[in-house]
Amino acid sequence: MQLSGNTILITGGGSGIGRGLAEALHALGNQVVIAGRRQQALDETIAANPGIKSLPLDVRDAAGIRSFAAHAVSAFPSLNLLINNAGIMRREDLLAHPADLADAEAIIATNLLGPIRLTAALLPHLEKQARAAIMNVSSGLAFLPLALTPTYCATKAAIHSYTLSLRFQLRNTRIDVLELIPPYVATDLMDGRNDPQAMPLDQFIAEAMEILKRQPTPPEICVENVKRLRFAAENGNFEAIFTGMNSRVAGGR
C-alpha cells in the first residue's frame, strides 16, 4: 500500500480514529473522502481540513450501501483505498434480560455487516485499479474481550477473521488487505476522550503512521499499547489479563 497519491474513502471519518486517519493521510498527499451519518461531524472535519471531501453514509442501511458505492465511484473514479472504520460500542448487561436486542443488533449492523456490505459493493471497482487496498479497523478487544461490551468485542473478532479470509481470497489481485488494531484510544467511543488510561489519539495516529511508513503493507498494524492484548494468547497470558482487566472494570462500575 502506497502512502501517497491515493483516493481514500474512510467510513466514520468525521471523528475519533477515522478523523485522525483522514487528517494524517490527507497531509501525505492523498485525496481523502470521509463518510458518516453525522453531518455536523463531517462538516467540522472538512472545515478544519480544506481539500478533504465528504459523503453522507449510514453503514447500517443495507439498501443504501450499494447506491452509496455507485455514487462514490462516480464522484471519485480514482477511489482505490477503502478504510472500514465506522463503529459503535455499547455496554450490555446480559443479566438484565432486555426485552429486545436493539443494542446488539445495531452494533452488528454497524461494526460487522456495514464493512462486509461496503467491501462487497466496492470490490468490483477496486479490482479495476492499478493498485488498491482495503484496511479494516478491528480492536485489541477482538483478541481479549471486555466482558461489559460483549457484542462489540464479538464483532471485532469477526472483523479480524473476515479480514484474514478476505486477504487470502484477494491474494492474486492487486488489492492489499490490512488490519488496523487499535488499543483503548481517547475518543468519544464509550466516553473515553478524557480517560487518562486511554492512549491519546494523536499519539496513536502518529505511531500507526510510522508503522506504515516503515512497512507500507503490514498485515496487522499494532502499536505497542495494543500488543499486550493482541498477543495475550500466544504469550500464555490470556487468562491472567482477561481476569485482571475485567475484574477492574467490574469493580469500578
State the catalytic residues.
152
What are 76's three cell numbers? 471519485
CA distance 27 to 203: 16
Helix/strand number for the chain, H first, E second: 9, 7
What SS3 state is found at 145?
A: coil
Chain-centroid distance of CA 82 in Å reads: 10
Q: In terms of Cα–Cα distance, which of 127, 153, 119, 118 is closest to 139?
A: 153
DSSP state of 113: I
By CB neighbour count within 10 A (0-12 exposed, 13-18 middle, 19+ buried), where does 97 fall? Answer: exposed
By CB neighbour count within 10 A (0-12 exposed, 13-18 middle, 19+ buried), where does 235 fall? Answer: exposed
